[in-house]
Amino acid sequence: MRVAILGAGAMGRTVIGHLQKCGTVQEITAYDTSRESLEKTRRECGVEGSTSLEKTLDDPRLKLVFITASNAAHKDLALAALRAGKAVMCEKPMANSLPDAVEMAREAARLKGFLQIGFELRYSLLYSTVKKWIDEGKLGEIRNIQCNYIAEEYWRSSSWRVKNATGGSMFGEKLSHYVDLPRWWSGSEVEEVYALSSPNIVSYYEVRDNYQATCRLANGGVSHLTFYMPFGETTDTDDPLQDMLDRQKDTGHELRYLVMGASGGAETDVFNRTIKRWAYRETPRGFESKIEETITWPKEQDHFYFHNTHDQTHDIVRRVQEGLPPSISPEDALETMKVCEAAEMSVGRQEAVKIRDL
């Protein structure tokens, strides 16, 4: 199969690495508006590219494209690729605005095309273990989900991510993963969001750098996210994720979920590389918790336990080759977009926003 990367930056090169390990992909090509990005990709990955989208898409051997360009380009690239009859995997956020994302989902439905959005945390061994426990009924109905995400980041002042026009919003660019998981785990849609944000700490971010956001779920449950990204530019590494875990541990940083169900709970802790599950039992004195499972993983397995883009890439290739639908439908991804939009809107309006009013 022939596959193209639309956007030959850091993420594009990561996906190329996964594709090169996937035995069923024979040819990889790249498209980017920047010659510099294409040259870097040729040098580092051995993949040739073009600055012509038309030429890239006008190739009957090309079956699948990965949209790994910066966020502002997602909609136009997705529409062009779908209209050219290609299967599309588009990085999160689906788009930089809700109307753009709606248009993408509509076009995929009209053309009966393949469109999957990059929520690779659904492939992670860490978070899919929680999903498995929930589906097996080990936690009972989900009542309360708490995410504490307090992590130093590596966005430079020159990054497209720090500007609203190019990055979109912090919710779309970064937190879409973390509002997608509670929806997926609980199987219950978000109905209402109330979010607050204090003035930024990182002065050069135009996008917000902190939130307290609470979601009401359709099953009556509540999901809350505490997010701070307080310090910029403290690392010069090319592997910020690895660096993040090793350098920030024990200095007040965490990425932890507590998932509480009616009959048990689970905790995921990225910095301590641990997943735990406990069950409640009724005793004559009242309820007690008992740890049932604790899983840890070595640093070498971080990719598979955390942002598992490897398995996501291979699964998408397989699905397209076998004519299967996406594992996450465009409509499903759109619901996560709505939560992101509602959260940003709620901060601006200083009131709760109902998803049905969007």
Ligand X SMILES: NC(=O)c1ccc[n+]([C@@H]2O[C@H](COP(=O)([O-])OP(=O)(O)OC[C@H]3O[C@@H](n4cnc5c(N)ncnc54)[C@H](O)[C@@H]3O)[C@@H](O)[C@H]2O)c1
User: Which parts of this chain interact with ligand X (CB under 6 A)?
Assistant: 6-12, 31-34, 37, 68-71, 73, 91-92, 118, 120, 173, 307
Reading phi first (left if > 0) and then psi (alpha if -120 to 50, else beta), residue 140 is in left
In this complex, which beta carbon is closest to ligand X, that of residue 120 or of residue 332? 120
What minimum distance in Å lies between the beta carbon of 23 and ligand X? 24
Answer yes or no: are the C-beta atoms of 355 and 193 closer than 8 Å.
yes
What minimum distance in Å lies between the beta carbon of 316 and ligand X? 13
In this complex, which beta carbon is closest to ligand X, that of residue 159 or of residue 272? 159
**Contacts made by residues 293-296, CB under 8 angstroms, sequence distance 24+:** 295/129
What minimum distance in Å lies between the beta carbon of 6 and ligand X? 6
In this complex, which beta carbon is closest to ligand X, that of residue 9 or of residue 140? 9
| Closest to 321 in 3D by CA, of 332, 309, 313 | 313
In this complex, which beta carbon is closest to ligand X, that of residue 7 or of residue 261? 7
What minimum distance in Å lies between the beta carbon of 325 and ligand X? 20
What minimum distance in Å lies between the beta carbon of 344 and ligand X? 16
What minimum distance in Å lies between the beta carbon of 123 and ligand X? 11
In this complex, which beta carbon is closest to ligand X, that of residue 241 or of residue 358? 241
**Edge-to-edge, what's the strand order for the sheet holding 62-67?**
49-50, 27-31, 2-6, 62-67, 87-91, 115-118
Answer yes or no: are the C-beta atoms of 268 and 130 closer than 8 Å.
yes
Which single residue brings its beta carbon nearest to ligand X? 9
3-state SS assignment for residue 84 = coil
Answer yes or no: are the C-beta atoms of 328 and 176 closer than 8 Å.
no
In this complex, which beta carbon is closest to ligand X, that of residue 12 or of residue 261? 12
CA pair distance 68, 20, nearest whole angstrom: 16
CA pair distance 242, 13, nearest whole angstrom: 17
CA pair distance 80, 86, nearest whole angstrom: 9
CA pair distance 54, 201, nearest whole angstrom: 43
Residue 317: both structure tokens together: 């290739």
What minimum distance in Å lies between the beta carbon of 8 and ligand X? 5
Residue 267, C-beta contacts closer than 8 angstroms, at least 6 positions apart: 256, 257, 258, 259, 274, 275, 276
As beta bridge partners, residue 217 has: 190
In this complex, which beta carbon is closest to ligand X, that of residue 238 or of residue 250? 238
What minimum distance in Å lies between the beta carbon of 176 and ligand X? 9
In this complex, which beta carbon is closest to ligand X, that of residue 192 or of residue 302? 302
